[in-house]
Structure 1
């Protein structure tokens, strides 16, 4: 009897062992499939947001390779130290909660404390469009450098021997793709999607209003009022797209110095003057904004246009035409140009919402634009 009981005990123990092993195996397979599914889902999500210059080549959860401006760029995930030599990248990283990854910034960003707060005290790695401090970049030991599209090839060539990956972003790239990529490499994809959803919501408001507009106005876009009245913005400049998204037809489709007579020949219905130095919280901001309008009115060439005749001169800050706030600027322009189609729409409210929910380094309130 004892022998039988002993054999039964061994059989029972063996069965229990088999059951435990089976459960462990099932759990392992399930965990693997879940992990694989999670990875595939993240890649699939990225494919949804994929676009030229932001095409995913490979992704395994610990690294990602992206085709960007002619090169396959590989980054380890998460990226913890970023030189954001591009104000759009800087905005987005702050917006998605990854501002603490920024260790170096674009020189122009230091002039915008009302947007970027204490991050303006970080080292600047560039001054102007074609001047980089490579020694500073290398000393910052970044895992990634983000440049404007015009300079990415140059900087990539200089930093390649040091094994520092470089990607670029420009005005004609897909913003949602860029946002999602930055979310993916910093482990902030959820916040990235929230930002994309906010931008899409503004776009829907804009499109609803423009659907009520039968005729689109012509616009003359002054790229930099402080520089010249006759230098216009084309597709390579963000202000151009702010105008196009507002339902306007730019007089010129190239960033260039134009003849005053050519502007008069176009006879724009709207003049958009872009200033890159407007401090929204300065005591004389409103007066300065209005002085730009008055100077355009007093110009003998511009005074003869329909824009001045019908009071459609709009002043906007150039730094808000870049990245996530661009569509909000477009919404402001459209609301001033087509008031009946945008009745009840307040672009400033959307700007304040953007600051409160995303760009929390910015200071709400103040004067960000004007028209007349």
Structure 2
């Protein structure tokens, strides 16, 4: 740690000696800056024209890509880098990796890349980053792409940061129209009870958690909506006897643009069905189990996942909602990728 601190100090001194001031890395006049309010309410002055940014967290990267600003990104964390197929023409090499995670950033690499700003989420080490990068004229902006209920604010923020406000507004309208349709169509429909599980056995969602609003927007009755912890005893699922089970991802599996095979999905489903006592659960008896890949559920701050869940719960009431088509739009129009079906089990057609 002492060696790293010394290297950082030497880089800082070199920067100071060469430039003569702390912020001339990116010389801007006052009129060339704008002030934005980031996801945690901080007022941050940033260059009006962002041409070089580094990004932590794949949800943030997906948002940036969906508004057409990928070409402004010159560095990413390992979580983004490891799924090379998800970024198409914007292929990041190992020299652009800025850290293992958003809590393990490589500040020497960030300073070497010399971006105008770092985009990070609030559960990352943004405070540490802000303190260490500010002397080099590198701004730190918190952008929380996790929360479904904040998607409009997050996309609006991204649009302001990257000067892509019309693109962000069009994206927001695309999904808000679909959310309004779900809300209107299901207004007087009794909600189905749902057990949601994320990757590991017994990991669910509760108020304040990243996945909670995805279920709320889908008009699901979360059986653990009053729980205090996301870690629950799976025997409680038997006692609460949900109508439907929704599971995202699998333990030890990273999110990938390439979908799981049907055999892998079947294996995950059988693992659920074979849990002690679960043969008595209504969702198991009626085969009301929806499996989503980790990639598909998270699109557009989990709005893509919302569409699948709502349609699975209430297909007869949502004839105009086609979640697989929404996913296709997400990957082809907003992520500039080929459409690869098969991210859900059971799978859906474009007209379902």
Sort the TM-score into its range (normalised by shorter chain). 0.7 to 0.9
Rg bigger for which structure? 1
RMSD (Å) for aligned C-alpha atoms: 2.5
Structure 1 residue 119 corresponds to structure 2 residue 90 = yes
Which string of whole-angstrom CA distances, capped at 9 and with x for unpartnered residues, describes residues 11-63 of structure 1? xxxxxxxxxxxxxxxxxxxxxxxxxxxxxxxxxxxxxxxxxxxxxxxxx8632
Provide the rounded CA distance (Å) in 2 between the counterparts of 1:221 and 1:355: 25
Counterpart residue number, 2:304:
328
Contact residue 336 and residue 371 of structure 1 kept, 8 A: no
Q: Does 1:200 align with 2:172?
A: no
SS class of match (2:142): strand
**1:118 Cα deviation from its structure 2 partner:** 4.1
Q: In 1, Cα distance between the equivalents of 2:245 and 2:339? A: 26
1:26: which partner in 2?
A: none
Alignment partner of 1:261 is 2:235: yes
2: CA distance, partners of 1:320 / 1:180: 22
Query: Which of residues 40, 48, 55 in structure 2 aligns to 1:77?
Result: 48
Query: Which among 211, 233, 244 is matched to residue 205 of structure 2?
Result: 233
**1:216 to 1:300, Cα distance in 2 relative to 1, 3 A:** same
Q: Does 1:154 align with 2:128?
A: yes
Matching residue of 2:217: 245
Q: How many residues align?
A: 307
Provide the rounded CA distance (Å) in 2 between the counterparts of 1:113 and 1:298.
35
Is 1:363 matched with 2:333?
A: no
Point out the more displaced range, 181-190 or 60-69. 60-69
Q: Which residue number in structure 2 is paired with residue 350 of structure 1?
A: 326
CA contact (8 A) 1:277 1:317 kept: no
TM-score scaled by structure 1?
Answer: 0.75
Aligned residue runs from structure 1 range 282-293, under 5 A: 285-293=261-269
> Are the equivalent residues in 1 in contact too, given 2:279–2:285 (CA < 8 A)?
yes
Q: 1:223 — aligned with what?
A: 198
1:277-316 map, 5 Å: 277=254, 279=256, 281=258, 285-316=261-292
Instruction: Find the partner of 1:107 among 75, 78, 97.
Output: 78
Give the C-alpha shift of residue 222 in structure 1: 1.2
Relative to 1, partners in 2 of residues 1:255 and 1:318: Cα closer, same or farther, differing over 3 Å? farther
Segments of structure 1 that go 5 or more residues without pairing to the other structure are 1-59
